[in-house]
A and B are shown apart, each in its own frame.
Chain A
């Protein structure tokens, strides 16, 4: 039910009392939300039955009033909303032992991992953009490092809804979350009305970038496409903030992904149950607004036990609950790869690559369900990242190890390509070394030459698409021809099957213009 400024159920009660005989109750409990500045004046003047209580933290007046008192509140311009204070709120029921042992995000997503044992996201900050976090909940200890209201107007400490506390618990709650030593930055974007504005989201993302937050969890969504929201999420992602966004709860119909999950660089998370099956409610791809595929990954999001804002635990479902699982995994991976110079790219690549779909479609679960067990299995199956470099043609996400030989433009000796990577800053980097003139640092490690192709906008293309788009070079005969800049691409009209594209060869540096199918050219947009 949608509630306006005055709770319609309360209005009905007073109307009923007016019509009925005198033996019917005529005074009811009301909760009125007001500004602090006018509270004292209103406390004096409100015609109430019995004492009036003012909750200064919540900026709410509680009183029993008759019709006159109710009308006074309705007419008072500084009263934001009037609700029925006699409503019985449903407190989450205590959980049985079986549920507690089975359905926390921690149990499902951490599984039996040995590789990441002892890694709990220590030193990693995850921003939770939500309804607020009940920071005094015992599962957080003192790890809620800051609480900022991004909602215009006043702010009260804590979580009046419960959603944000549940989400934060699944990320970093002790015994509940995947990364139980990660720090939480509470960014409140939802006001009392329940909805969030575009500006509050932008305010929160702005803070994430300025504070150089590692990961942001956005368990929120809309029923529309927004260039502004998607653009802001992409900007944050390109600034180095790993952005986990809920795919949406509009499934199981196809093409139900909306902003900001539809953003190109967002990690859009679908929900699965404890068996890894896509939840019926989880929004499905394909991406209705853009050409890139969504959702990206999936994680556990059905009947999830986590922290309650009343204290204790409660159960919730939704892609909101799946998103913090991925944020928690990222925190663990970042801690594990702390020394890695490009830990964020590595962690994101692992998330996107290692999921297990169990035969379900990409539109339902993206590349598959993310758990630490799956990541461990993935790394073991490929004998680890480092050894993958030695296998010709093997690849990790956006890293393409070729170990191919080409000629050095300086000395004409053999030149070895060690790695080609598409990076989140929009560049493509090629690491090479010259066979004849190899340089080593003080520790004896090979120093690479690095060629950078800038202005690549398509860093989220899949490996399959990348390989598909490589064309055979007329100069050297190798399959190494790629578009040299996305700005130079001239995609043909809808009914023209081919497009003229400026290309360069990765092997022999030949450049030219090639006609390639528009279908493939669009991959590079």
Chain B
């Protein structure tokens, strides 16, 4: 799986900022302490420690924090994962 390249990451952060921020899930590398300084504590919704992932609620002015070099990739949180039962 490829990490986001810098241009893509910048563009994505910019687009998120234009949407006034939002809830995102990000994968980080290395120590959590190293990446946590990039975010205000109140933005951190959840830390999925075993997965090295974090859920963040970012204000528009905090979106560029996702450019932190320890962030490998991130996505806006989705809510449409479904059970895969085939309806008749």
Contact = CB atoms under 8 A, between A and B. Distances in A.
Interface of A: 130-131, 161, 163-164, 166, 189-190, 193-199, 201-203, 205-206, 209-210, 219-224, 226-232, 234-236, 239, 246, 248-249, 264, 279, 281, 290, 316-321, 323
Given A130-B83, A221-B84, A319-B86, 11 more contacts: A196-B79, A196-B81, A198-B81, A199-B46, A202-B55, A206-B48, A206-B50, A209-B51, A226-B78, A228-B26, A231-B51
B77 A198 contact: yes
B85 interface: yes
Interface in B36-78: 45-46, 48-53, 55, 72-75, 77-78
Contact of B81 (A222, A281, A321, A323): A222
Contacts of A190: 83
Contacts of B14: none
Contacts, number: 126
B80 interface: yes
B82 interface: yes
B27 A228 contact: yes
A197 B79 CA distance: 4
Contact of A197 (B51, B81, B84): B81
A199 B83 contact: no
Interface residues of B, number: 29
B50 A209 contact: yes
A150 to B, nearest CB: 11
Contacts of A131: 83
Contact of B45 (A164, A199, A281): A199
B44 to A, nearest CB: 12
A163 B83 contact: yes
A228 B53 contact: yes
Contacts of B74: 228
Contacts of B73: 227-228, 231
Given A209-B51, A228-B73, A219 B84 contact: yes
Task: Give the interface centre of A198, A206, A316, A320 by most chain B CB atoms within 10 Å.
Answer: A198
B83 A235 contact: no
Nearest to A227: B73
B53 A222 contact: no
23 contacts: A131-B83, A196-B82, A197-B77, A197-B78, A198-B25, A199-B25, A199-B46, A199-B55, A202-B53, A203-B48, A206-B49, A206-B50, A222-B82, A227-B73, A228-B27, A228-B53, A228-B75, A248-B84, A249-B84, A249-B85, A281-B86, A317-B85, A318-B84
B14 to A, nearest CB: 19
Contact of B86 (A220, A227, A228, A317): A317
Nearest to A167: B83
A190 to B, nearest CB: 7
A249 B74 CA distance: 26
A232 B53 contact: yes
Interface in B6-55: 23, 25-27, 45-46, 48-53, 55
A516 B81 CA distance: 41
B51 A320 contact: no
B77 A319 contact: no
A220 B78 contact: no
Contact of B80 (A195, A246, A249): A195
Contacts of A221: 81-82, 84
Nearest to B49: A206
A224 B51 contact: no
Nearest to A202: B48
Given A199-B77, A202-B25, A318 B85 contact: yes
Given A196-B79, A317-B86, A290 B46 contact: no
Task: Give the interface centre of B1, B52, B53, B78 by most chain A CB atoms within 10 Å.
Answer: B78
A229 B51 CA distance: 11
A231 B27 contact: yes
Contacts of B53: 202, 228, 231-232
B51 A235 contact: yes
B45 A220 contact: no
A164 B50 CA distance: 25
Nearest to A131: B83
B75 A223 contact: no
B51 to A, nearest CB: 5
Contacts of B51: 202, 205-206, 209, 231-232, 235-236
A78 B46 CA distance: 25
A425 to B, nearest CB: 15
A264 B84 contact: no
Contacts of A279: 86
